[in-house]
Structure 1
Amino acid sequence: MKEIMVVVRMKKTGATKKALVAAGVAGFTAVKVSGRGRLVTDPVQIEECKAKLLAMGMTDLGDAGDTDKLITSFLDGSRLFPRRLFTILAHDDDVPRIVEAITKANRTDYGIGDGAIFVMPILDAVRVRTGESGEAAIW
């Protein structure tokens, strides 16, 4: 048995749920989280991202100085991003199929921030309602 933890963009929540159902996942848990991944250190890439965000109408947030500070704090690592965390229990043989489905649903052309997938071993699982344990408890 494996536990698959997936961190994705909030806007990719629906696509991720659909991909999991299409991949045959029996059940999963999703919660809102905040965090951040690898920092972008390339000043050129930071300026490009900042320009894109400003062009997307971010000026509605307040005056230009406040908007610039907000965008910069997202890009320089001093602010956390809202994300969705999915937790899935799966049979070992199903993990590659599930990881592939999640990856296809969440890959973007942005080059950063597409999420992360962690696969960890599970020693045991118990279904509370029936008392089933092990592999029988997760499907």
Structure 2
Amino acid sequence: MKEIIAVVRMNKVSDTKRALVESGVAGFTATKVMGRGRLVQDLSLIAERRKTLLAMTNENDAKTEKLVTQFLDGTRFFPRRMFNILAHDDEVPKIIESIINANRTDNHVGDGKIFVLPVSDAIRVRTGETGDAAI
């Protein structure tokens, strides 16, 4: 039995939910979180995204520019969604593949992370079932 933790972009929440349901996941929990990943080393990626984000706003003031810059250089947290999924060991590769397919973008940064952890036990509160039967 494993726990899969997937941290994804907010605009990919619906795609991720759909992918999990289509891959046969029995249930999952989603939580709004804030965080940031590794800082981008290729400054040209940030420069291009900065230009795109500033072009999307109607304002070109110093406050907006500061927010966009902080968002891209890692000094601000990013809003994300964290999915927690319990799965049987043999289902894990299929679930991971579906999460990756739903979340991979052409942005080359910030597509999320997936962590797989062992779970020693699970208990279904309603019935008292334990272990794999509780999933």
Cα displacement string for residues 24-69 of structure 1 (whole angstroms, at most 9, x for unaligned residues): 000000010000111113222221111111122x234xx5211110
Instruction: Provide the C-alpha distance between the structure 2 equivalents of 1:31 and 1:87, rounded to a whole number of angstroms.
Output: 8
Aligned Cα root-mean-square deviation (Å): 1.0
Is 1:25 aligned to 2:34, yes or no?
no
Deviant stretches of 4+, over 3 Å: none
Q: Would you say how many aligned residue pairs link Structure 1 and Structure 2?
A: 135
Residue in structure 2 matching 1:93, options 85, 90, 95: 90
Instruction: Provide the C-alpha distance between the structure 1 equivalents of 2:28 and 2:110, rounded to a whole number of angstroms.
Output: 22
Gaps of 5+ in 1: none
Name the TM-score, length of structure 1 as normaliser: 0.94
Instruction: Provide the C-alpha distance between the structure 2 equivalents of 1:43 and 1:122, rounded to a whole number of angstroms.
Output: 40
Name the TM-score, length of structure 2 as normaliser: 0.96
What's the % identity of the aligned pairs? 63
Instruction: Provide the C-alpha distance between the structure 1 equivalents of 2:63 and 2:115, rounded to a whole number of angstroms.
Output: 36
Q: Which moved more, 1:111-120 or 1:44-53?
A: 44-53
How do 1:10-89 and structure 2 match up within 5 A? 10-56=10-56, 58-60=57-59, 64-89=61-86
Secondary structure class of the residue paired with 1:25: coil
